[in-house]
Chains A and B, each alone.
Chain A
Amino acid sequence: MTFASMAFGSMTFALALEIVLAAVVLTGAVWAIAARETLPAVAGFVAYGLLLSLVWVHLGAPDVALTEAAIGSGLTGALLVGAAARLRLSEVPMAVEHPGVILRMPAAVLSVTVAAALAASVLLLPDPAPTLAPSAAENAAATSLGNPVTNVLMAFRAMDTLLEKIVLLLALIGVWSLAPDRFWGGRPGPRHYADPQGVLAFVARVLPPVGIIVGIYILWTSADHPGGAFQGGTILAAMWLLVMMAGLTDAPPVGERRLRLLLLAGPVVFLVIGLSGLAFGDAFLAYPMAYAKPLILAIEFAMILTIAVTLGLLVAGPPEREPGS
């Protein structure tokens, strides 16, 4: 076999892989939309998210892949399963009243327009696409972090990341605002019970020590390798939810002061360090060069706690029990 034909062989293999991957991802997407019942649609969405993260790996974007798997598929999947379980009772009456053609036509037109606009804006990108990657790579030394994605998220575009954390808090306030007045300050969701000698309780004892180490490792390694506070925080949240669902602990009352402090830790540390940039540095969120790395790590460690608690409470849902009960 000549070198050229070998190269051609590996190229066609890569192409075949891409085609299969794209076809399976599209099938997952179509399944999630076309499935009649909510739970199969959610299953399709979760599978779609996991396959999409494979696409990101294939495109050489492991940071995005981790986020897609953790947030896009895992956490959103858990939220959607919770929503599907709540909707299950009302689903049969819902299916009877089928939306009329007057409602379905505009919905179809709107969906097609959005899809076409997205496709057009991707396909019509100028070639080469506008990019800030070279300038990000040029200034990478400013923070002494080896992972360019962490550099962009925590230093060059730190403002976006800060606002993202605040949006997360707003989402939690949105969920909490669904609570009836008498439950305000109480514990979210129902108390979960499981056989204390059962398999769920066993895993809820065995897995969290491993999961906590993996979560913190993913944050710690994000300085130089793919990872980050969001991905690590999702794993910590999953461990917390596992322990809650096994009935080994209860969700904390939403009025608890310690909980509120944890929810604020990330954004407050971020803001304080950002504002001190005004006092000691050049601008808001400007880190002094010599302390860039420790400051970023401080922000990220405060943030991973806040993210874990926020995501866990998002899945736990609005308060459903009276305070003190």
Chain B
Amino acid sequence: MSFVLDIVTIIAVSAGAFFFLAGTVGLLRFPDTLTRLHALTKADNLGLGLMVLGLLPHAGSLRDGIKLICVWLIVLLAGATVSQLIGYVARREGSRP
């Protein structure tokens, strides 16, 4: 059982790390604010979500697991809000490279 859980952890955390890497590359390489935001939100939403998913089997208790999920939900809310606000300002001022 613990072997299976370890595999789940390795796969999920690696996938999460991939999304963070892809998000960072996108942030550095994409041409304007809106596309960069698009890249960044993938790291926040999917990357962190997969990391949390991968860490859940190793959470010490139910409480720690719930805390991990709460961290992800709060980051989701904050990330979605901030990217909406940045996107709004970028569209108003004209998206520039």
The reply to whether A207 and B77 form a contact with Cβ atoms under 8 Å apart is: yes
A200 to B81, CA, bound (A): 7
Q: Number of A interface residues, CB 8 Å?
A: 7
A201 to B77, CA, bound (A): 13
What is the minimal beta-carbon distance from A107 to any residue of chain B, in angstroms?
33
A210 to B85, CA, bound (A): 21
The reply to whether A199 and B77 form a contact with Cβ atoms under 8 Å apart is: no
The reply to whether A206 and B77 form a contact with Cβ atoms under 8 Å apart is: yes
The reply to whether B74 and A203 form a contact with Cβ atoms under 8 Å apart is: no
Q: Which residues of B contact A206 (CB under 8 A)?
A: 77
Binding site for B on A (CB under 8 A): 199-200, 202-203, 206-207, 210
Q: Count A-B pairs with CB separation below 8 Å.
A: 15
**B65-97: which residues lie under 8 A (CB-CB) from chain A?**
74, 77-78, 80-81, 84-85
What is the minimal beta-carbon distance from A43 to any residue of chain B, in angstroms?
13
Q: Which residues of B contact A210 (CB under 8 A)?
A: 74
A95 to B81, CA, bound (A): 34
- The listed residue with most B CB atoms (<10 A of its CB), out of A202, A203, A207, is A203
- The listed residue with most A CB atoms (<10 A of its CB), out of B77, B81, B84, B85, is B81
A199 to B83, CA, bound (A): 10
A69 to B78, CA, bound (A): 16
**B54-69: which residues lie under 8 A (CB-CB) from chain A?**
none
Q: Which residues of A contact B78 (CB under 8 A)?
A: 203, 207
10 A-B interface contacts by CB (under 8 A): A199-B81, A199-B85, A200-B81, A200-B85, A203-B77, A203-B78, A206-B77, A207-B74, A207-B78, A210-B74
**Smallest CB gap from B84: residue in A:** A199
Q: Which residues of A contact B77 (CB under 8 A)?
A: 203, 206-207
Task: Render B19-54 as a binary contact track against A, CB cut-off 8 A, 1 for contact.
Answer: 000000000000000000000000000000000000
What is the minimal beta-carbon distance from B81 to any residue of chain A, in angstroms?
5
A206 to B77, CA, bound (A): 9
A202 to B77, CA, bound (A): 10
Q: 12 more A-B contacts (CB under 8 A) besides A202-B81, A203-B77, A207-B77? A: A199-B80, A199-B81, A199-B84, A199-B85, A200-B81, A200-B85, A203-B78, A203-B81, A206-B77, A207-B74, A207-B78, A210-B74
A210 to B78, CA, bound (A): 12
Q: Which residues of B contact A203 (CB under 8 A)?
A: 77-78, 81
Across the A-B interface, the 8 shortest Cβ-Cβ residue pairs: A199-B84, A203-B81, A199-B81, A200-B85, A203-B77, A207-B77, A199-B85, A206-B77
What is the minimal beta-carbon distance from B27 to any residue of chain A, in angstroms?
13
Q: Which residues of A contact B80 (CB under 8 A)?
A: 199
A203 to B85, CA, bound (A): 11
**Smallest CB gap from B80: residue in A:** A199
What is the minimal beta-carbon distance from A271 to any residue of chain B, in angstroms?
36
What is the minimal beta-carbon distance from A166 to any residue of chain B, in angstroms?
33
**Smallest CB gap from A195: residue in B:** B88
A207 to B78, CA, bound (A): 9
**Smallest CB gap from B87: residue in A:** A199
A210 to B70, CA, bound (A): 10
Q: Which residues of B contact A200 (CB under 8 A)?
A: 81, 85
A203 to B84, CA, bound (A): 11
